[in-house]
Each structure stands twice: as structure tokens, then as C-alpha cells.
Amino acid sequence: MAAARLEVRELSAGYGPTQIVTDMSFDVPAGGRLAVLGRNGVGKTTLLATLMGLSTQHKGCILADGQDISTLRTSARALCGMGYVPQTRDIFRSLTVEENLSTGLKSRDRTALAEMYEMFPRLAERRRHYGMQLSGGEQQMLAMARTLLGRPSILLLDEPLEGLAPVICDQLMETISALATSGDMTIILVEQQIERALNFADRVMVVERGRTSWEGSSGELKSDRALVNRLLGVGIH
């Protein structure tokens, strides 16, 4: 499946009657890389959950390659090319690595597992281990590999580096960057490691209190430390 364009128009959403995301509008071209930044609790995870159909959408529309997917169930959005790696990872702890991966095959043949073992050699080494036996980094690799088996055209990543050792962060970012460079995937990355996110992304959207407070190129933000500090309350090196 080729990378798809994502268009979000005046999106408001939350959980039940509680509104967390308000009037968000943005575009990501096919093959684009968007980093969504912001302090904790401002609505970034809710935004990704809404794109995947896992929250209550109050208004607005979500278009994937021109198709309005706003009213589709999560499973139908996955079939339309949406892939989501949640912050919670959500692997099956009582299943082996290979069994976990098999749940992401959809209609693909089991031979496709070899692609993920090549991409994540550590998973090949641990294929008979149970989810509960994996380190945090291995669990993140497994969650990502399971989603990638579905060959998404739009990949949503919610803080994939959280709590991981720097060397594992390096490995995961290399993999994510390679996926983006291939042109087969449009990637939206929510991440607290700001410098890594800016190095990865073409464009950046900063969220504050459920609204877009700034949007522009990653280079523009990276070159203006005062702006980074004002928007995010942190500096970059």
C-alpha cells in the first residue's frame, strides 16, 4: 500500500461529552513526516486516538487520500490504511513474539513475518519468548512490527521512545526514518524527545490545551531556541 495523504478539518473530539481536542485542522502530504509536540496532557494522544476511531468525535472530518473515514469503525480505518502504535504498546503478554506478530498479518501469508524479523533482528532472536518476558524496548519493537505487518499507508506513533534506553531509541528512530524515506508511509509522530522529533520531521505542529498553537517547518523551530522554550518550556541542544 502506498503512502496516503491525511487531511484533518476542524476536528473536535474527546471521551463521551468531554472535549479535549478543539477545532484542529492540518494536512500531511503522502509520504510526509509530521511531529506533534506539546506538554503532557494537552491532547496529543487523544488526537491520534481520534484519527484511529478510538475516541468520541464531536465534529469535523478526517480524510485519507480523499476518502472521509470519520464515521468508520477502527477496524475499517485499519483496512483503509491507518496503522496505530499506542503509547501503551498493547502487546499480548501471554503470547509469544511470533504469536503476537501473527495477529497483525490480516490477510497476509505467514511468510511476511520474515520481513519483520529482518527489520527487527532482536525479535527474531526472541520469537519464542512471551510478551511478558520482553524488555520495554523489545515490547516497543513488537508493537511496531505488528502494526507494520498490516502495511499501513498512514502510521500513527504515540511516544514510541518513552522509557527506553538511548541506544534503543537510536535503533527505533533509524527504523522509523527508513520507513519514511521509503516513501511507502505517511508518518505522524507524537514524541517528548523534542530534538529527535525535530530531526525526523518535515513539519511540526505544537498542541496546547487541545488546540494547535504553532505549525511550521521543523527547521524553523529547531533554529529558534527561544521559540522552542516559549512553546514547550524546554530547550534543545
Question: For residue 27, what is the domain's CATH number?
Answer: 3.40.50.300
Is pLDDT at 165 greater than 50 in this prediction?
yes
Instruction: Please give the residue range of the domain that contains residue 14.
Output: 6-89+152-232
Tens digit of each residue's pLDDT (9 = 90 or more) over 140-157: 999 999 999 999 999 999
**Which residue did the predictor score with more confidence, 225 or 95?**
95
Mean pLDDT within 172-185: 92
Classify residue 73 as exposed, middle or buried by CB count within 10 Å of its CB (0-12, 13-18, 19+). Answer: exposed
Tens digit of each residue's pLDDT (9 = 90 or more) over 34-55: 999 999 999 999 999 999 999 9
- Mean per-residue pLDDT over the chain, rounded: 94
In a domain, 107, yes or no: no
Instruction: Output the DSSP codes for 99-154.
Output: HHHHTT-TTS-GGGHHHHHHH-HHHHHTTTSBGGGS-HHHHHHHHHHHHHTT--SE
In a domain, 1, yes or no: no
Residue 183, pLDDT score: 87
User: Which residue bears the cell 511550521?
Assistant: 216
Mean pLDDT within 8-25: 98
In a domain, 100, yes or no: no
Backbone angles phi, psi at 59, to 5 degrees: -165, 170
In a domain, 135, yes or no: no
Residue 81, pLDDT score: 94
In a domain, 172, yes or no: yes
In a domain, 36, yes or no: yes
**CB contact burial 26-52 (16+ within 10 A = b; e otherwise):** bebebbbbbbbbbeeebbbbbbbbbbb
List CB contacts of 132: < 8 A, sequence separation 6 or more: 93, 94
Residue 234, pLDDT score: 60
Is pLDDT at 166 greater than 90 in this prediction?
yes
Is pLDDT at 207 greater than 60 in this prediction?
yes
Is pLDDT at 1 greater than 70 in this prediction?
no
In a domain, 119, yes or no: no
* β-sheet bridge partners, residue 59: 12
Mean pLDDT within 199-220: 96
Structural domain count of the chain: 1
Assign 236 to helix, strand or coil. Answer: coil
List CB contacts of 136: < 8 A, sequence separation 6 or more: 163, 164, 168
Q: Please state, for a pLDDT cut of 70, what percent of the chain lies above it.
A: 98
In a domain, 128, yes or no: no
Is pLDDT at 237 greater than 50 in this prediction?
no
Is pLDDT at 235 greater than 90 in this prediction?
no
pTM value is: 0.94
